[in-house]
Amino acid sequence: MPLTDTAIRNTKPGEKAVKLFDGGGLYLLLNPNRSRWWRFDYRIDGKRKTLSMGVYPAVGLRQAREARDLIRKQLAAGIDPGLARKARISADADSFEAVAREWHAKQNWAADHARQVLARLERDVFPWLGARPAGEVRAPELLAVLRRIEARGAFDLAHRAHQICGRVFRYAFATGRAERDPAADLRGALQPAIQRHHAAITDPKDAGALLRAIDGYRGSFVTRCALRLAPLVFVRPGELRKAAWSEIDLEKAEWRIPAGRMKMRATHIVPLSVQALETLLELHPLTGSGRYVFPSERTRDRPMSENTVNAGLRRMGYAKDEMTGHGFRSMASTLLNEQGWHRDAIERQLAHGERDAVRAAYNYAEHLPERRQMMQAWADYLDALRDGATVVPIIRRA
């Protein structure tokens, strides 16, 4: 049954992406974050491909159908619409979209971050500025684009889009395709971003209750192990769920996360406490023959879903404004600082950004002896909290 605007507006997002089909290969992808993307699926030369066709409601139902009909004519003529689009963008090398994609391809980012940046451009900027020559875009045009983002209450995203566009325009200037950066004229023009922090438990008594809840978790054993390991290593949720057995040296009690998986693109060493090793050794017979420490329940070829740890916390009764997977980092940072550990050791173990990228690449082992001591003391402290003891942490200096 063909789509209607009413049906689109009345369909609410769920926990997983939903496809609303219109026919002829056209459908609207409704994501959990409420973004709505037009997509067109087609086959050519025996291969299945998908073409992005813009964001609803910027691209309305009628426009999407017209674009679909044009694409079907291309297919009937033996033309691959995806290749045709790439050729068109390449031919117009001075357009904002062409410059932005060229700039994006040159960045040395982690894959997840690179996808996120490109998705923001495709969703919020390209539909309005993509075809414009980068050198002709003026500040009021860019402000109008950013105002659309603000209009949906996404003030932080508007600021991030502003920063991204500024970098694209500076790249256009450096490559001779723009005379200046119009984004620089918009400083102070946007509404202040709302500062949001990841919900976290930082009170020792509440942390102990959380650890006891994790011990009693009745869901998937793999998820339970991930929940047990999360507070012991306090890495970012993406780094935890994509952990590979090849990165972990059980004999050395060390987990080395390669630069390609780190936000700051520098190798990160996680000393493993006795408690962390126990969790990994308990899990190894189940997942050790595969690539991932925490594989997906559907296939071992992929890591667990990014929502798995948070879903586990919800199952234990913790609301999203109480605790998140990222909150284990805040828990560790707050309590370790309160205990008097060396701030530089804590920051290095958290893998917070190093302004000098070259220095970061060589300093992944900085403060490592103290970090090893700190990680074991931290695990012992968590054990005491879980057991309900009155804890007076003893800081053991190297």
For 34-154, where are the alpha helices, taking DSSP H only? 61-76, 81-91, 96-105, 111-124, 126-129, 139-151
- Quote the CA–CA distance of 319 and 316 in Å, as a whole number: 9
371 annotated active-site: no
Q: What phi-psi label fits residue 153: left (phi over 0), alpha (psi between -120 and 50 degrees) or beta?
A: left
Residue 198 a catalytic site member: no
Check if the beta carbon of residue 334 is closer than 8 Å to that of residue 202: yes
Is 197 assigned a catalytic role?
Answer: no
Residue with structure tokens 């209450």? 153
Active-site choice (16, 205, 343, 362) = 362
User: Is 326 among the catalytic positions?
Assistant: yes
Which residue, 303, 286, 305, is CA-closest to 295?
303
Which of 19, 352, 359, 396 is the catalytic position?
352
Q: Which candidate in 68, 326, 371, 372 is catalytic?
A: 326
| Residue whose structure tokens are 């309305």 | 60
How many Å apart are CA 193 and CA 74, to the nearest integer?
Answer: 44
397 is catalytic: no
Nearest C-alpha neighbor of 398 from the set 370, 379, 375, 365 = 370
The SS3 assignment for 268 reads strand
Could you tell me the strand order of the sheet in which 18-23 lies?
Answer: 18-23, 26-30, 36-44, 47-55
The one catalytic residue among 212, 263, 265, 315: 263
Q: Is residue 328 classed exposed, middle or buried when 0-12, 13-18 and 19+ CB atoms within 10 A define those classes?
A: buried
Q: Which of 123, 241, 242, 329 is catalytic?
A: 329
Lookup: tokens for 333: 């940072």
Burial of 260 (0-12, 13-18, 19+ CB in 10 A): exposed
Q: Which of 177, 228, 236, 372 is catalytic?
A: 236
Residue 86 annotated as catalytic? no
> What amino acid positions are annotated as catalytic residues?
236, 263, 326, 329, 352, 362
